[in-house]
Amino acid sequence: MIEGTGAVRMHGISKRFPEVIANDHIDFDLKEGEVHALLGENGAGKTTLMNILYGLLRPDEGEIYIYGKKVSLHSPADAIDCGIGMVHQSFKLIPSFTVADNIALTLQYRSEFKIGEVKDTAIDLMKKYGLPPIDMDAEMHELPAHEQQLVEITKMLCLGQKILIFDEPTSVLAGEQIGILLERLRMLAKMGHSVVFISHKLDEVLTVSDRVTVLRKGKVVGSLETRKTNRQELVTMMVGRDIPVLSKPQIEKGQKVIEVQNLNVTSDLGVATVKGASFSVHKGEILGIAGVAGNGQVELVEAITGIRKVASGKVLIDGQDVTNASPKRIIDMGVGYIPPKPRETGLAPSLSIIENSALRDYSLQSSNLSIFLNLDNMRQYAKRLISEYNIVTPSEDLPAGLLSGGNLMKLVVAREVARKAKALVIFDPTAGLDVMTIAFIHKKIIEASENAAILLVSTDLDELLSLSNRIAVIFNGKVTEAPQGFTREALGLMMTGGEG
Amino acid sequence: MRVRKKFLISVASLVIVVSVVIFVAVISYNLATGCSIAKISGLLLQGAVGSKHTITECLVATTSLLLAGLGVAFAFKCGLWNIGAEGQLHMGAIGATFIALNLSAPAPLHMLLIIIAAFLAGGAWAAIPGVFKVKLRANEILTTIMMNFIAIWVVQYLVHGPWWDTTQNVIRTSTFPTSAWLPIIVPGSRLHAGLLLGVACAILTYVVFRYTRLGYAIKMLGANPKAAQYGGVNVPRTIIITMFISGGLAGLAGMGLVCGIFHFLVDSAWGISPGFGYYAIGAALLGGLSAWGTLSAAILFGFLISAATYLKAMLGMHAESLYLIIGLILLAVLARGIFIGQLKRLPGLRGKE
């Protein structure tokens, strides 16, 4: 491709974060009037690359050309000036403002718009593009997700943006709305816009895109014309070709500890996200649940641990029904939970390591009726966790938030494993950690599995394959166990909605 | 070590902020009145700690600020922005007045019942926004503020209506029987046993947060609500209990005012509180939400309030100008985060983290 043609050309883009290379010399180009899909697993570097294009992140290396002109994007404002617009996964809208207000807010970038004319401009543009009319005076929070997305699109059209980035736009939509959105993306391309479509759903990519670029672990695996490729080829590019061997053989099953029957759970937005999941985990085994993020993992895990209400179906621990029981009851039943991102759920960063060590046990201390904490025990317990897990800290009195990411996660793992729980629910335990810490945490999980039933939900396929005795896949809220002797590609297909 | 350095920076910044604000105050009085800086500083000091009278007056103000401030600290520690201490203080005064006027008992028992009633009344008043928050997700900042007005108007209704003692010159209830008077602890002053109650509550607050499971749950909920839920804390129950205790402590401040100072409940034109419930928020924040911090801040504010009254008498200045200083201190304290950030950037303090 000759320099100077096309809407966007990104050349040799690299972006390093403290513990991971998110983008490693990536080349990406976007032609005028095409839909270009960016495909890859979680953590492949798709969003990082697009955040660089939108000026949210600065690349460590590499050059960006917009319509052949070399640009330096320091902020989204620069990107907007270059005609780039982005629809983020979480909408950037103000819920208490009307549709017109939200659009007007964006237009402050273009002085020629007058506030009073915003409604007319927007309505005219939507008519021109054949978009369904929307009530300009409705407040944003009254609108369903797909209409909010429509407002986001209209915002960019009103700004006159030619280059449109959609970051997993279908993840907030349900059913028929997905098809409608994909048609709209085609229409936008036909009207001369250049569209980047970030996704990890193969069907959508195959339906909508002209070309597809596959990323894997921060690198470009390949860039293909969509009509010249197929599902099989793309899956292989996404997940690799090697045939996995479960490191641990199928073992003789112990007693059933965690059992989930026909479980249905809804998300915060009221969308059904876990749909009729049924599985069981036995003592002494690790059941891995693979899946691309956003397929119902959060809701599944929170329903089992009592943090989220179950819509229907049952959760049983040791044969006892704990459906919709309080988190405390489930803790008391001996269920440990290692949540992802310890700072968000697993810990209170501003409190001391001692206090955080006791988080899951404070209600169990000596007796449930005692008023006082046993401070000596708490300190000894924290010291024990620190030494057994080599947590690097000068003192157990420090706020936990001062620990590094790896040490924080070790603290959470230590706390949950040390309780000698009979069941452990683990969710993405090693995301963003360094290799040494990952190996250490994996070792501890395997040790813990000797006496407990472990449900390991992870978006990292390698992690699952190296730890699990059995593997199931969650896709679109449905949990399916992988058949005997599956290949990595088969798993990849199941994870992306293929028949597997 | 890192933590100690942080603590030092924190204390140093507090001291600097408070001194700068007081210095600015002295300069502006100097400009406004033409008195020399030395004279104003002297008067300020005299007004605060110059005599037995000014010291006890300072501690009288401290008493109300301390009790209400501890209440505020309780709620804030839990991440509950209870701005309703003023209303809860008034409800406490109502509860105390009710028992004081309608029940007769020997002094210690009467006083005990009054204290319990004041705590329950203030607590219940604060528990209402707590319930609203839990059941309806109502923002407690708004509900507690609005309930301040309701509480003050309930006082108005009572003293103008059913509780009005028409034989009095001003609109107020009858005077309490002496069994409902808090004993004076420094003879010849207005300083009453409410201060001892306040110190006892400060000790209790310290104990609750340091040693008890409830305090642990409250701290955890305030520090990270998701972690608290995950750790098995009963979030709705903890919110309501915390609001109840918070309001109860503010209620005790109201009790201290009616039983220790006024010995009756009075029309708001007189008013039992010049906004102690709001200054208490400042005291709690200035004290870093700790029991001892709140106590120290309550004493500092007490000095300032007492000095204000003195300056007013000596220089004919408006007492409001010192309330303005309290406001400035608060503003400075709240902006302290930025200031600490600046301090940390000083080369000597940077060190290795």
- Residue (of A237, A87, A227) closest to A163 by Cα position: A87
DSSP 8-state secondary structure symbol assigned to residue B107: H
Nearest to A350 among B212, B214, B223 (CB): B223
Mean pLDDT along residues A434-453: 87
Distance CA B29, CA B26 (A): 5
Distance CA A395, CA A170 (A): 47
Handedness of CA B122, B125, B126, B130 (dihedral sign): positive
What is this model's ipTM?
0.80
Termini Cα distance of chain A: 37
pLDDT bracket for residue B15 (50, 70, 90): confident
Asked if the model's pLDDT at residue A245 lies above 60, the reply is no
Give chain A positions within 8 Å (CB) of B216: 355, 358, 362, 373
Range picked from A443-452, B5-14, B144-153 for highest mean pLDDT = B144-153
B212/A371 touch (CB, cutoff 8 Å), yes or no: yes
Asked if the model's pLDDT at residue A132 lies above 80, the reply is yes
pLDDT tens digits along B126-161: 999 999 999 999 999 999 999 999 999 999 999 999
Would you call B84 helix, strand, or coil by DSSP?
coil
Under 8 Å CB pairs connecting chains A and B tally to: 81
Asked if the model's pLDDT at residue A243 lies above 60, the reply is no
Sheet holding A84-87, edge to edge: A84-87, A163-167, A194-199, A35-39, A211-216, A219-225
Lowest mean pLDDT among A16-30, B33-47, B55-69: B33-47
Would you call B137 helix, strand, or coil by DSSP?
coil
Distance CA B15, CA B305 (A): 19
pLDDT bracket for residue A373 (50, 70, 90): confident
Give chain A positions within 8 Å (CB) of B2: 394, 398, 402
Distance CA A229, CA B234 (A): 54
pLDDT bracket for residue B39 (50, 70, 90): confident
pLDDT of residue A248: 58
Distance CA A217, CA B50 (A): 73
Lowest mean pLDDT among A156-160, A234-238, A394-398, A495-499: A495-499
Mean pLDDT along residues B83-102: 96
Asked if the model's pLDDT at residue A491 lies above 90, the reply is no
pLDDT of residue B342: 59
A339/B230 touch (CB, cutoff 8 Å), yes or no: yes
- Residue (of A11, A16, A25) closest to A71 by Cα position: A11
Distance CA B333, CA B13 (A): 9
Shortest CA gap B149–chain A (Å): 27
Mean pLDDT along residues B112-135: 97
Residue B334 structure tokens: 């709240």
pLDDT of residue A249: 56
Sheet holding A312-317, edge to edge: A272-282, A256-266, A312-317, A320-321
B216/A355 touch (CB, cutoff 8 Å), yes or no: yes
pLDDT bracket for residue B258 (50, 70, 90): very high
B220/A326 touch (CB, cutoff 8 Å), yes or no: no
pLDDT of residue A11: 93
pLDDT tens digits along A95-108: 888 898 888 888 77
Mean pLDDT along residues A66-93: 89
Distance CA A205, CA A39 (A): 8
Q: Looking at the complex, does the CB of residue B2 fall below 8 Å from at least one CB of chain A?
A: yes
Distance CA A38, CA A10 (A): 13
A326/B234 touch (CB, cutoff 8 Å), yes or no: yes
Testing the interface with A: which of B76, B78, B216 to mutate, by most A Cβ within 10 A? Answer: B216
Q: Looking at the complex, does the CB of residue B137 fall below 8 Å from at least one CB of chain A?
A: no
pLDDT of residue A267: 85
pLDDT bracket for residue B348 (50, 70, 90): very low
Q: Looking at the complex, does the CB of residue B232 fall below 8 Å from at least one CB of chain A?
A: yes
pLDDT of residue A2: 40
A394/B216 touch (CB, cutoff 8 Å), yes or no: no
Q: To the nearest 10°, the Cα dihedral for B199, B201, B207, B212?
A: 180
Residue A318 structure tokens: 């040791």
Task: Identify residue B258 by its one-letter amino acid code.
Answer: V
DSSP B277-338: HHHHHHHHHHTTT-HHHHHHHHHHHHHHHHHHHHHHHHH---THHHHHHHHHHHHHHHTHHH
Nearest to A371 among B1, B213, B228 (CB): B213
Distance CA B318, CA B309 (A): 9
Give the number of other CB atoms < 10 A from CB of residue A67. 17
- In sequence order, the 6+-apart residues with CB closer than 8 A to the CB of B4 are none
pLDDT of residue B4: 63
Distance CA B272, CA B282 (A): 19
Shortest CA gap B178–chain A (Å): 37
Asked if the model's pLDDT at residue A57 lies above 70, the reply is yes
Give chain A positions within 8 Å (CB) of B233: 328, 363
Lowest mean pLDDT among A23-32, A322-331, B288-297, B315-324: B315-324
Give chain A positions within 8 Å (CB) of B234: 326, 328
Give chain B positions within 8 Å (CB) of A427: none
pLDDT of residue B353: 33
Q: Looking at the complex, does the CB of residue B51 fall below 8 Å from at least one CB of chain A?
A: no
Give chain B positions within 8 Å (CB) of A402: 2
Shortest CA gap B345–chain A (Å): 18
Mean pLDDT along residues B220-242: 93
Mean pLDDT along residues B37-41: 80
Q: Looking at the complex, does the CB of residue B3 fall below 8 Å from at least one CB of chain A?
A: yes
CB A362 within 8 A of CB B231: yes
Which domains does chain B carry? 60-306 (1.10.3470)
Residue in this structure with the two tokens 């944003």, named with its chain if needed: A140
Shortest CA gap A136–chain B (Å): 28
- Computed on alpha carbons and rounded to an integer, the radius of gyration of chain B in Å comes to 21
pLDDT tens digits along A266-279: 988 778 889 999 99
Give chain A positions within 8 Å (CB) of B1: 394-395
**DSSP-assigned beta bridge partners for residue A481:** A472
Give chain B positions within 8 Å (CB) of A365: 213
Q: What percent of chain A has pLDDT over 70?
A: 92
Which domains does chain A carry? 8-239 (3.40.50.300), 256-495 (3.40.50.300)
Q: Looking at the complex, does the CB of residue B4 fall below 8 Å from at least one CB of chain A?
A: no
pLDDT bracket for residue B287 (50, 70, 90): confident
Sheet holding A423-427, edge to edge: A335-338, A423-427, A453-458, A286-290, A470-475, A478-481
pLDDT tens digits along A283-340: 989 999 998 888 899 999 999 999 999 999 999 999 999 999 999 889 888 899 999 8
A360/B1 touch (CB, cutoff 8 Å), yes or no: no
Give chain A positions within 8 Å (CB) of B290: none
B216/A358 touch (CB, cutoff 8 Å), yes or no: yes
Mean pLDDT along residues A384-391: 91
Asked if the model's pLDDT at residue B96 lies above 70, the reply is yes
Nearest to A373 among B211, B227, B234 (CB): B211
Q: Which of residues 67-126 of B touch A (CB under 8 A)?
A: none
- Residue (of B327, B325, B313, B324) closest to B57 by Cα position: B313
CB B163 within 8 A of CB B101: yes
